[in-house]
């Protein structure tokens, strides 16, 4: 099969088209012919080696963390899926590789594609929708009437998190450029702060939750707008000791995360708020919940641009520029 791989950690520009063995479905696995694959900032960070201590992949590595496609065959013990089913998934972090014609996925990580979406629309959702779900539903336990700030609302995670938070009954603020204000209000944002001319920390106060995708400096600033007991959930760092324990990290990783997050955790303790780092995990069960929301019209995908499979390197370069509205998708068909 054809796949886009990296041979070394250095740059997304080193991604190349290669012939790779077609995988086979072992027990509990499903072989999927991929019709479309979502492109994420995570893909460029993996290519640059930013996660090699956390995710020690074997090279050459097929990139890609989102897929939508059709089941080709199933392994022993798989009863929920059959050949011909239209499915989508974010494969487990240890089994990525969606920039390819085929991939085997654990049945536990797979869900049926929303019936009202195209393959390219469906491929845009798994990673970002699961991130939003695990942050707002699972970790924050967001309730009606609460207030949430979603940083970088026009990005892949932001566009879905705004819709999910609104569905959960929250008041939603977000940061973005002024040109995207009407678009984000249409998604459900109540307040759009122009990050170029306004400082969100001087505008907002008494918030229950912040979903931060910008990194340590933004996390520290976000704490100032929280009410006592509020939560900042960071998806761009700093990683914390709970994360190292979650993934079964070695002693060096546990020490590193403790040091990297020390100032952040101390600041949170002084302010009486909570900080946690989220590295989303694959979950077919949660993705099925998201499917229901999509089919009911509560969440809609936002696709910025679709690239053909032959232009995968260009798709990676495009997302690395950081100016996308929603998601970039690669179409194999």
Question: Are 105 and 201 part of one and the same domain?
Answer: no
**Residue that the structure tokens 């990139």 belong to:** 63
What are the pLDDT digits (tens) for 232-244?
999 998 999 998 8
Position 186 in a domain: yes
State the pLDDT confidence band at 10, using cuts at 50, 70 and 90.
confident
Position 296 in a domain: no
Position 294 in a domain: no
Give the three-state DSSP class for 273.
Answer: coil
pLDDT of residue 19: 97
State the pLDDT confidence band at 249, using cuts at 50, 70 and 90.
confident
State the pLDDT confidence band at 14, using cuts at 50, 70 and 90.
confident
Q: Is it the case that residue 127 has pLDDT exceeding 70?
A: yes
Position 75 in a domain: yes
Range of the domain at 172: 127-277
For β-strands 29-39 and 327-331, DSSP reports them as antiparallel
Specify the length of the chain in residues. Answer: 333
Position 286 in a domain: no
Cis-peptide into 238, omega within 30 deg: yes
Position 182 in a domain: yes
Among the candidates 243, 261, 277, a domain finishes at 277
Give the three-state DSSP class for 52.
Answer: coil
Question: Are 38 and 138 part of one and the same domain?
Answer: no
- Of the chain, the percentage scoring pLDDT greater than 70 comes to 99
Q: Is it the case that residue 13 has pLDDT exceeding 70?
A: no
Question: Are 115 and 159 part of one and the same domain?
Answer: no
pLDDT of residue 328: 97
**CATH of residue 320:** 3.90.180.10
- Of the chain, the percentage scoring pLDDT greater than 90 comes to 87
Mean pLDDT of 192-204: 95
Mean pLDDT of 245-258: 88
Query: Is residue 87 within 8 Å of 113, Cβ to Cβ?
Result: yes
pLDDT of residue 149: 98
Of the candidates 25, 187, 173, 47, which has an alpha carbon nearest to the alpha carbon of residue 106?
Answer: 25
Q: How far is CA 158 from the centre of its chain?
A: 10
Instruction: State whether the Cα torsion 328-39-284-26 is positive or negative.
Output: positive
**Spatial separation of the C-alpha atoms in residues 120 and 204, rounded to whole Å:** 36
Question: Are 248 and 164 part of one and the same domain?
Answer: yes
**Does 12 or 166 have the greater pLDDT score?**
166
Question: Are 118 and 180 part of one and the same domain?
Answer: no
Q: Is it the case that residue 12 has pLDDT exceeding 60?
A: no
**Spatial separation of the C-alpha atoms in residues 70 and 88, rounded to whole Å:** 8
Question: Are 120 and 34 part of one and the same domain?
Answer: yes
What does the mean pLDDT of the chain come to?
95
The partner residues of 226 in beta bridges, in order of sequence, read 207
**Residue that the structure tokens 């070394």 belong to:** 8
Question: Are 87 and 117 part of one and the same domain?
Answer: yes
Position 282 in a domain: no
Question: Are 37 and 74 part of one and the same domain?
Answer: yes
**CATH of residue 217:** 3.40.50.720
Question: Are 90 and 207 part of one and the same domain?
Answer: no
**Spatial separation of the C-alpha atoms in residues 316 and 333, rounded to whole Å:** 19
Position 108 in a domain: yes
Q: How far is CA 15 from the centre of its chain?
A: 21
**Spatial separation of the C-alpha atoms in residues 45 and 9, rounded to whole Å:** 10
Q: Where are the alpha helices (DSSP H) in the chain?
A: 41-47, 119-123, 126-133, 156-167, 181-187, 200-203, 216-222, 241-246, 251-260, 262-271, 284-295, 312-320
Mean pLDDT of 163-188: 97
pLDDT of residue 132: 98
pLDDT of residue 54: 81
Question: Are 257 and 156 part of one and the same domain?
Answer: yes
Lowest mean pLDDT among 13-27, 98-112, 298-312: 13-27
Question: Are 113 and 174 part of one and the same domain?
Answer: no
Question: Are 78 and 114 part of one and the same domain?
Answer: yes
**Spatial separation of the C-alpha atoms in residues 307 and 315, rounded to whole Å:** 6
pTM (two decimals):
0.96
């Amino acid at each position: 099969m054809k796949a886009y791989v990296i041979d070394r950690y250095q740059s997304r520009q080193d991604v190349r088209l290669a012939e790779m063995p077609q995988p086979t479905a072992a027990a509990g696995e499903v072989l999927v012919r991929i019709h479309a694959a979502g492109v994420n900032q995570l893909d460029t960070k993996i290519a640059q080696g930013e996660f090699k201590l956390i995710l020690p992949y074997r090279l050459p590595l097929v990139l890609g963390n989102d897929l939508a496609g059709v089941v080709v065959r199933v392994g022993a013990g798989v009863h929920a899926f059959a050949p011909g089913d239209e499915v989508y998934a974010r494969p487990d972090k240890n089994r990525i590789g969606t920039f390819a014609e085929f991939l085997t996925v654990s049945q536990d990580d797979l869900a049926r594609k929303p019936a009202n979406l195209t393959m390219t629309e469906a491929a845009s959702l798994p990673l970002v929708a699961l991130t939003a779900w695990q942050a707002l539903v699972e970790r924050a336990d967001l309730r009606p009437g609460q207030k949430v700030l979603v940083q970088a609302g026009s990005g892949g995670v932001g566009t879905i998190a705004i819709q999910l938070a609104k569905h959960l009954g929250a008041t939603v603020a977000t940061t973005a450029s002024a040109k995207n204000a009407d678009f984000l209000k249409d998604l459900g944002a109540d307040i759009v702060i122009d990050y170029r001319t306004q400082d969100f920390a001087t505008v907002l106060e008494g918030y229950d939750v912040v979903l931060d995708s910008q990194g340590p400096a933004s996390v520290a600033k976000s704490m100032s707008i929280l009410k006592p007991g509020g939560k900042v959930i960071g998806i761009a760092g700093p990683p914390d000791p709970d994360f190292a324990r979650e993934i079964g990290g070695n002693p060096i990783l546990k020490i590193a995360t403790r040091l990297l997050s020390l100032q952040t955790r101390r600041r949170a303790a002084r302010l009486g708020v909570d900080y946690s780092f989220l590295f989303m995990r694959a979950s077919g069960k949660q993705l099925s919940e998201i499917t229901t929301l999509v089919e009911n019209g509560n969440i809609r995908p936002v696709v910025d641009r679709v690239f053909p499979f032959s232009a995968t390197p260009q798709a990676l370069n495009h997302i690395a520029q950081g100016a996308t509205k929603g998601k970039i998708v690669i179409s194999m068909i």
